[in-house]
Amino acid sequence: MPDTKDWTWVLERPCPECGFDASSVVPEQIGLRLRAATFKLIALLDDPRARQRPAAEVWSALEYGCHVRDVHRLYLHRLNLMLAEDEPHFANWDQDATAIESRYADADLAEVVGDLASDGERLAEAFDAVTDWTRTGVRSDGAHFTIDSFGRYLVHDPDHHVWDVEQGYAAMRDS
């Protein structure tokens, strides 16, 4: 099912589902927060149910892992643009089309785990190296970010998907 929500609201109030509170994220700890969420997701992928969907319309842990891997790659590219250019505009990214075109459900689990670790670390290191958190960028829908708000917005994604996977596993256990 396509996700049509504009998730930028997480910068203004806590997420009622996963509890993420962007106001609690200190910019200098974005790299640390990304590493923590990535390692939690990697640990969750070490489960025999990782390929199993908890419901037809809900991604499997593997599919969430693929998505987070791709988010890491996309956000590293966008962060680099923000650091190199004045107020770059980001091309639209259709995460749902990417999931279908990249065949997330058929991905090699070990490869995804390796990519999550390496891509997550590259992104975390890039945030660790930021010295000017006020540089800006603009998403294709017009949403404006500073590197600070961009990073806090980003941290919600892997945190939320860890929560999604945990909820999916709990639903499988309870059914």
What's the rounded mean pLDDT across residues 12-33? Answer: 96
Structure tokens at 148: 């600070």
pLDDT at 174 over 80: no
> What is the per-residue pLDDT for 95?
85
What's the rounded mean pLDDT across residues 117-127? Answer: 98
> What is the per-residue pLDDT for 175?
63
Confidence of residue 96 (pLDDT cuts 50, 70, 90): confident
> What is the per-residue pLDDT for 7?
74
Q: What is the mean pLDDT of the chain?
A: 94
Confidence (pTM): 0.94
Confidence of residue 6 (pLDDT cuts 50, 70, 90): confident
pLDDT at 2 over 70: no
The structural domains of the chain, ordered by start, are 28-174 (1.20.120.450)
Q: Under 8 Å CB-to-CB from 38, ≥6 apart: which residues? A: 68, 72, 116, 117, 120, 121, 124, 158
